[in-house]
Amino acid sequence: MDMIGQQLMNAVMLGTMYSLVAIGFSLFFGTMNVIHFSHGDISMLGAFIALFFVPIITQYSVLGSVIMFIGAIVIVAVLGIFLSGLVIQPLQSSPQLYTLLATLEAGLVIREAIRLFYPGGKMSQKFPIIFPSGGFSIGGLTIRFDQLFILAIGVAVFVATVLIVNKTSLGMAIRAYSQDKEASMMMGVSESKVIAVTFALGSALAAIAGILHGTYYREVIYTMGLTSGIIGFSAATIGGLGSIWGAIVGGYLFAFIQTSVSAFVPGGSEYRDVIAFGVMILFLLFRPTGILGERQSERV
Amino acid sequence: MNKLIVLLSETVLFALLILFLIAESVSITILFIVAGFLCAAAVLIFPKKAERIIKPFAKERRTAIIFSMILMAILPFFFTTQPYWLLTLSLAGIYIMLANGLNMQTGTTGLTNFSGAAFFGTGAYTTGLLSVHLGLPGWLTIPAGMFASVLIGAILFFPVLKVKGHYLALVTIAFGLMFNIMLNNTDAIGGPQGISGVKAFAIGGFDFSGMWAIGPFIFSSYANNYWLTLLAAILALAFTRYIYNSPVGLILNYVRDDEWSSKSQGLNISYWKLIAFCCGNALIGLGGALYAHMIGYVAPDLFSFQTSLLLLSMVLLGGMDSIPGVTVAAFVMIVLTEKLRVIQDYRFLIFGLLVIIMIIFRKEGLIPSRVRPYFPKLKSVLMKR
Amino acid sequence: MKKMRTLFLPILVILALVISGCAVSPGSGSGNGSKKQTVKIAFIGPLTGGNSRIGLGGRNSARLAVYDANHNKNNKYHYELVEYDDENTTQAGNQVALKASSDPSVIGGIAHYGSVVALATVDTYHKAGFPTMIWGAVHPDITLGNDYKEIFRVPGTQIDQNKQAAEFVTKLGFKKVGVLYDTTDYGRGHFKYFKENLQKLGGQIVAEMPVQPDQQDLNAELTKIQAKKPDLIWFAGLAPEGVRVKKQMDAMNIKTQFMGVSGLVNEEYNSALGAEGSEGSLAIIDGAPTSSLPGGEKFMKDYKARKYSEAPEAYGPFAYVSTDLMIQAIEKVGPDRKKVTNWLDTKVKNIDSMIGKVTFNEHGQNDMPLFTPMVSQDGKWVPYAESEYQTGKRKLPGKK
Amino acid sequence: MEDINLQVNAGDFIGLIGPNGSGKTTLLNIITGMYTPSSGDIIFNRTPIGQAEPHEIARLGIARTFQHIRLCNELSALDNIIIGYFGRSRFSIRHLFFQGKKVRQKQLADAEKAVAFVRFFSEELVDRLFDKVKDLPYIDRRRIEICRALVTEPKILLLDEPTAGMNPEETMEVIDDIIKIRESYQDMAIIMIEHDMDVIHKISNRVVCLNYGKKIAEGTFAEVANNQEVQSAYLGGETIA
């Protein structure tokens, strides 16, 4: 019983990481109809930028951690806007394949740049532990404090994102833009502003995902972005591209599948990705718009 | 006169290629590359002047093609002591097949396929397994490899016909990853160590792994394989060109550009997509089968996402739907990465940047596809009026 | 006439190219003043990509061996190391293997870190009659799986390593072992032989978890293993993954003893984990730490003196010894592939080297492999026998 | 959409009118199989085709044009017309792949016929048949689209606002073209969506008016124009003629 509980906890933690990345995919797709494939690598970049702040953390502990979070998020958000101007906006009118490939290659470039130019970038990097260690047990189930912190931050970020998109005027602009580009521009929505905000927001989420990944697993390596990118994309697709809640559901579902395959199928752990991706493909067959995606009809 | 220009310029190009390959020194390699860039730039800047050199080729197409084939066929005479370059050129030939197969799917029909390497692997593994475990001869295993690739592709593709765009890309990415994991984890097909000891191609008692000689020229197995690959590549290119210029090519283009209007013209787009996918996979499978026989060893590490991405980059850099473009891109990318081992670690970085720059500034690729002349005769009749 | 002019331009370009090419090539030749005949030896390994640290360490060590040979006045030949990058992939491996072995001026090769790459290329070496010393790949089949005379290997195989590892584990009193291994040839191979040998000695594998090498989250696997309450968690894979496993064990507060394979023993493991995290981790390596090898001190001193920018890493000494043996063979019989192969095949019995005695058996495999159990102590890998754990000053977490 | 009952006989020219959003294009999409009707059926030559795929319907002899011109911009104008032959099963798959001399000649004859179609509309356009479609003027692209629909001589031709986005002169040219078609193919039924009532008046022999997805009137132009419901649908009761 406590085995199941413990594994459930593992799945929830993993799902939080996936969801944070998946939201970005959904946001970009919903707003601009693009798949931003370097998103996973942006999240890796977030973790590595956070490493620059490590000297501060040891000096000011809590304050330092906060500075690290905010600093990394801001830098990555700016980089996200920059990247969108560089590879995504010029390609908006061309077929999807170009955007997909350009962002994939952009991810490769980020990855290689970290490997080559970050000091010791080929190796895995020690990530500081910023949450209190230790934990408590309830009926054989061990819950760690860092898990609680990460979960709390994750949920807070989910809620904040949904609020920003649904309640603020910026969010209104984003939604109007995603529904009807021309009409929203006539209503006075600034296209460049919407794109910038979307990419800043999505990249900030990726940075948070990267930092939380670092604190949870306590190490980061330059290759981590590719996997999390592909899984984030898959999770967003399962949930329904364009829907933020869908991305969250998809992230947890993907994590749940992976964890249960590892935990309860004998000899299953080497096939966990195979099964997770297989489920995703089946999903696409029977419900191409995902769990929470809207059924769109094409205009002829 | 046109003929002369064609023959001469092809001979010169051929001589340059051999010089380029033989040159060991880094500075010469870079010199060649710079010269190549300058030539490309000149073609772009002075299209009219370039047209004057290209025109004789268009007029004397038959001569140009036959002569270039002859030149490529005599190439091993220059590399009797350096089989390494024959291997590399054979690899380039195989990648030409792969890239053209992928081009038929992605460029001509607009089906984003991120699992080219998986179908490459299917061909190679099928051929390898049949050759090692059943001892089947090459003329059986190679078609079997092609068939397996087509079959696996169709099985995957048939259910996802309705899935489009991003979703198709995701399905193929996922399939490629799953395929690679399965190769690694299935001990029956060698697991991570793959299959070793695949027999070289043999036909009519002549074993391609054997040596033979004409006068002072001794030809190793690599020369034999080079000729085999050359033959296969020529056939593959002829096939793609035939499809491209046949009504099928036109239909596939139509399906790519506008699904609804294709449907309203009575085209069963699922059917045609499947046809395009299978034709492309046949070429990719052929490449895999030849690879298995040539190298004699098949391991999962080659059939990864990285290779799929490389293939797609070839299609993109060369020019979507442009057979000459894709062919040149595949050739240049394989040969150049061999030559540019000097820059070593920075290869992928430079490569990625190059693709991004290309996508942003020259989407149509190295050699853009042209309006295809389906009825050249008719054109001349019409133009006379 | 116009057409003639269009022809003129390309011809001019070609002429210019050829002339400049001729002008450049003689200058780039090696203008070494020595009158000795130059003999080329190839070094093949991963010089780029994820495994380049180890590849570059091996290359530097091979360079050092060549440097030493060239400064030995008694040597008859001048040696030159030609370096090839196999990228740790079978395709590139095949290409460079052919490039090296088809060049008649290259007499022998010091080749490969990745086992799959080595397995893919041995045929090529055999066909070319190219004597090859494997310096880093440890899969048994590379030497034992074929009858190729040309393939030799100084480091021991996975079989030997895991035999010793199993003995070591049993000796320390660990009976129930939980296993994580990565699904590459490296992890799988190690696991296969470790399991065989451990079970022979009465040990028990309570859980076995294969994982993809790029899998980030190992919580599910570790939870499952921990539920079986093993004495020892044994991991087969390279350092980055090992770091991942150990970090997540720490985070989950799993205090079970952790042990890895030879791929774990390098600086990366300790630096990424920190002294606290890596403390008490066990592993077993081919040979011994460089410092405790017979010729280790001199090697380290010379290596430092050459100011290579990368550390020799675990397989550097083997690359050095392999190169050195190759040079010895050439000195004895001259630069002839067949003779060198024969000499290496028959004459390498109890030859002294910096890693101790080397003897090739009928497969060309070093018969006297040396293995040393290691423990991480204060952020450094030290031989277990010399550690404070041996003396009882410190205690391994799971030891009874 | 509900309650649509429409019978089309050979040789009919039906003008389909109705305010914006009344479901005119939707009706064409349903007829051509691009949308599947949830109830009811479409009978063509005694065959029910309500559930059929678009390409099957097209092969039966129902051709259409689109409101926003749908051509493949990267292909030449002639190729865009030729596809009409290839698509509507004039050739079997075998013939598309393996072209013997005979098949090739047949295709050439078809191509010449296509050129004749174009010449029928506009002599100048013939000279530009080998240009990329995207380089042609708007009206020529519309002509190419109509030619594509016409080449296999369909039984029913559906024209979705062929004059959309054109100036009065161009509109007149297109309408003249359509009248030419009318005269040359007496047996072909044509359904045309059109906003310009003069045009409808001029060429249609029957008019159908839709509003909110329902058919509200059917009959001759005069009948429909005087229908109360139709008048109220258009600008709240103003007369339309």
Question: Among B115, B156, B162, B166, which would you mutate to test the A interface (most chain A Cβ atoms within 10 Å of its Cβ)?
Answer: B166
Rounded distance between C-alpha atoms, residue C246 and residue C278, angstroms: 8
- pLDDT computed for residue C78 by the predictor: 92
Q: Tell me the pLDDT band of C28, cut-offs 50, 70 and 90.
A: very low
Instruction: Tell me the per-residue pLDDT of B95-106, one tens digit each, with 9 for 90 and over.
Output: 999 999 999 999
Residue B378 predicted with pLDDT over 80:
no
Q: What is the mean pLDDT of residues D69-76?
A: 85
Is A226's CB within 8 Å of C221's CB? no
Q: Which of D64, D112, D129 is the closest to B264 by Cβ?
A: D64
Top-confidence residue, A145 or B204: A145
Of B181, B260, B349, the CB nearest to A273: B181
Q: Note whether B299 contacts C188, CB cutoff 8 Å.
A: no
Q: Which of A2, A3, A9, A10 should we substitute to test contact with C (largest number of C Cβ atoms within 10 Å)?
A: A10
Mean pLDDT of C340-357: 87
Which tens digit of pLDDT belongs to each residue from B58-92? Answer: 788 888 889 999 999 988 888 887 888 899 999 99
Whether A118 has its CB under 8 Å from any CB of chain B: the answer is no
| Chain pair B-C, CB pairs under 8 angstroms | 116
Report which listed range, A49-53, B206-210, D25-29, is most confident.
Answer: A49-53
Q: A2, A21, A77, A8: which is closest to A259 by C-alpha?
A: A8
* Alpha-helical regions (H) of B46-190: 47-59, 61-74, 83-102, 116-129, 138-157, 165-185
Coil, strand, or helix at residue B280?
helix
Does residue C370 have a pLDDT over 70?
yes
Average pLDDT over residues B109-136: 93
B36-50, B235-249, C17-31, C106-120: least confident range: C17-31
User: Is A285 near chain D, with CB under 8 Å?
Assistant: no
CA distance D63 to chain B (A): 7
The string of DSSP letters for chain D reads: ---------TT-EEEEE-STTSSHHHHHHHHTTSS--SS---EETTEE-TTS-HHHHHHHTEEE--SS----TTSBHHHHHHHHHHHTTSS-HHHHHS--HHHHHHHHHHHHHHHHHHHHH-HHHHHTTTSBGGGS-HHHHHHHHHHHHHTT--SEEEEE-TTTT--HHHHHHHHHHHHHHHHH-TT-EEEEE-S-HHHHHHH-SEEEEEETTEEEEEESHHHHHH-HHHHHHTGGG----
Over pLDDT 70: what percentage of chain A? 96
Q: How much is the average pLDDT of B3-28?
A: 86
What is the pLDDT of chain C when averaged over all its residues? 85
Average pLDDT, chain A: 87
Q: Are B29 and C28 in contact (CB under 8 A)?
A: no
Cβ under 8 Å to B: D residues 83-102: 83-84, 86-89, 91, 96-97, 99
Q: Is C145 exposed, middle or buried (0-12, 13-18, 19+ CB in 10 A)?
A: middle
Q: Is D94 exposed, middle or buried (0-12, 13-18, 19+ CB in 10 A)?
A: exposed
What local confidence, expressed as pLDDT, does residue C31 receive? 42
Say which residues have a Cβ less than 8 Å from residue A255's Cβ, sequence separation at least 6: A11, A12, A13, A14, A15, A17, A18
* Predicted confidence (pLDDT) per residue in C121-163, tens digit: 998 899 889 999 999 888 888 998 888 989 999 888 888 889 9
Neighbours of chain A (3+ CB pairs under 8 A): B, C, D
Residue predicted with more confidence, B104 or C289: B104
Q: Best residue in A93, A94, A297, A300 to probe D by mutation, most D CBs within 10 Å?
A: A300
**Cα–Cα distance, A12 to C203 (Å, whole number):** 35
- Tell me the average pLDDT of chain B: 87
Q: What is the pLDDT of residue C197?
A: 93
**Residue C74 CA: distances (Å) to CA of C39, C70, C327, C331:** 15, 9, 12, 10
- Residues 34-93 of chain D with CB under 8 A from chain A are 34, 66
DSSP B367: S
A300 interface with D at CB cutoff 8 Å: yes
pTM of the complete model: 0.90
The fold of B83-384 is ABC transporter involved in vitamin B12 uptake, BtuC (1.10.3470)
Residue C19 has pLDDT above 60, yes or no: no
- pLDDT tens figures, C204-246: 999 999 998 888 889 889 998 988 889 999 999 988 889 999 9
| Chain A contact set for B160 (CB, 8 A) | 281, 284-285
Q: Tell me which residue of D130, D121, D220, D128 sits closest to D162, measured CA to CA.
A: D121
The B residues from 187 to 206 touching C (CB cutoff 8 Å) are 191-194, 196-197
Predicted local confidence at residue B236, as pLDDT: 95
Least confident stretch, A274-278, A289-293, B102-106: A289-293
**Tens digits of residue pLDDT in C262-281:** 888 888 888 888 888 888 89
Residue type, C299: F
Arithmetic mean of pLDDT, C13-22:
49
- The domain segmentation of chain A, as residue ranges, is 13-129+144-222
Q: What per-residue confidence (pLDDT) applies to D90?
A: 59
CA distance B311 to B288: 13
**Whole-number pLDDT of residue D79:** 86
Tokens of B254: 């139509």
DSSP helix/strand/coil, C206: strand
Q: Is residue A220 helix, strand or coil?
A: strand
Alpha carbon distance B309, B356 (integer Å):
13
Q: What pLDDT is attached to residue C23?
A: 43
CB atoms within 10 A of CB C200: 12
Residue C64: exposed, middle, or buried by beta-carbon count in 10 A (0-12, 13-18, 19+)? buried
For chain D, give the mean pLDDT.
82
Give the pLDDT of residue D235: 58
Contact residues on chain A for C243, CB-CB shorter than 8 A? 124, 219
Is the confidence at residue B372, as pLDDT, over 90? no
Confidence of residue B382 (pLDDT cuts 50, 70, 90): low
Q: How far apart are CA A197 and CA A194, in angstroms?
A: 5
DSSP C12: H
pLDDT of residue D53: 85
State how far the Cα of A210 lies from the Cα of A235, in Å rounded to an integer.
Answer: 17
Q: Are A274 and B175 in contact (CB under 8 A)?
A: no
Which pLDDT value is given to residue B97?
96
Task: Say yes or no to pLDDT of B47 above 60.
Answer: yes
What CATH class does D1-61+154-241 carry?
alpha beta
Task: Tell me the pLDDT band of A300, cut-offs 50, 70 and 90.
Answer: very low
Confidence of residue B342 (pLDDT cuts 50, 70, 90): low
pLDDT of residue A100: 87
Q: Which residues of D touch A300 (CB under 8 A)?
A: 25, 29, 34, 66
Find which of A21, A123, A150 to mutate to test the C interface (most C CBs within 10 Å of its CB). Answer: A123
Average pLDDT over residues A158-165: 92
- A113 contacts chain B (CB < 8 A): yes
Percent of chain C whose pLDDT exceeds 90: 34
pLDDT score of C4 more than 50? no
pLDDT value at position A206? 94
User: In which band, very low, low, confident or very high, does the pLDDT at B303 lie, cut at 50, 70 and 90?
Assistant: very high
Instruction: Classify residue B171 as left (phi > 0), alpha (psi -120 to 50) or beta.
Output: alpha
- Residue D149: strand pairing partners: none
Question: Which chain C residue lies closest to B79 (C-alpha atoms)?
Answer: C102
- Residue D40: both structure tokens together: 């009811």
Does residue C167 belong to the interface with chain A, where contact is any CB pair within 8 Å? no
- So what's the pLDDT on residue B92? 95
Which range is most confident: A163-172, C78-87, C264-273, C369-378? C78-87
How many residues comprise chain B? 385
The residue among B161 and B312 whose pLDDT is bigger is B312
Has residue D239 got a pLDDT over 60?
A: no
Res. A297: pLDDT tops 50: no
| Closest chain A CA to residue B365 | A98
CB contact under 8 A, C21 and B222: no
Q: Tell me the shortest Cα–Cα distance from D218 to chain A, in angstroms.
A: 26
Binding-site residues on chain A for chain C (CB distance < 8 A): 3, 6-7, 10-11, 13-14, 17, 120, 122-126, 135, 142, 144, 146, 213, 216-219, 221, 223-224, 226-228, 258-259, 262-263, 267, 269-270, 272-273
Chain C nearest CA to A171, separation (Å): 33
Which tops the pLDDT comparison, C362 or B344? C362
Strand (E) positions, chain A? Answer: 125-126, 135-138, 141-144, 219-220
Picking from C251, C291, C290, C244, the residue whose alpha carbon sits closest to that of residue C268 is C244
pLDDT of A288 > 80? The answer is no
Q: Which of D91, D107, D115 sits opposite B382 (nearest CB)?
A: D115
Residues of B in contact with C24 (CB under 8 A): 25, 27-28, 31
> Does an interface of 3+ CB pairs under 8 Å exist between C and B?
yes
Rounded to whole angstroms, what are the CA distances from B22 to A198, B16, C21, D110? Answer: 52, 10, 12, 53
Q: Does C292 touch chain A (CB under 8 A)?
A: no
Structural domains in chain C? 21-156+291-369 (3.40.50.2300), 159-286+372-391 (3.40.50.2300)
Angstroms from B69 CA to nearest CA on chain C? 22
- Find residues 289-348 of chain B whose CB sits inside 8 Å of chain C: 295-297, 299, 301-302, 338, 341, 344-345, 347
D201 with D10: CB under 8 angstroms?
no
Helical (H) or strand (E) element with C13: helix C2-28
Distance from the C395 Cα atom to the nearest Cα atom in chain B, whole angstroms = 38
D34 touches chain B (CB under 8 A): yes
Tally of CA atoms within 13 A in the half-sphere of B347 that contains its CB: 18
Backbone phi, then psi, for C311, in 5-degree steps? -70, 155
Q: Determine C/D contact with 3+ CB pairs under 8 A as the test.
A: no
**Cα separation, C26 vs C28, whole angstroms:** 5
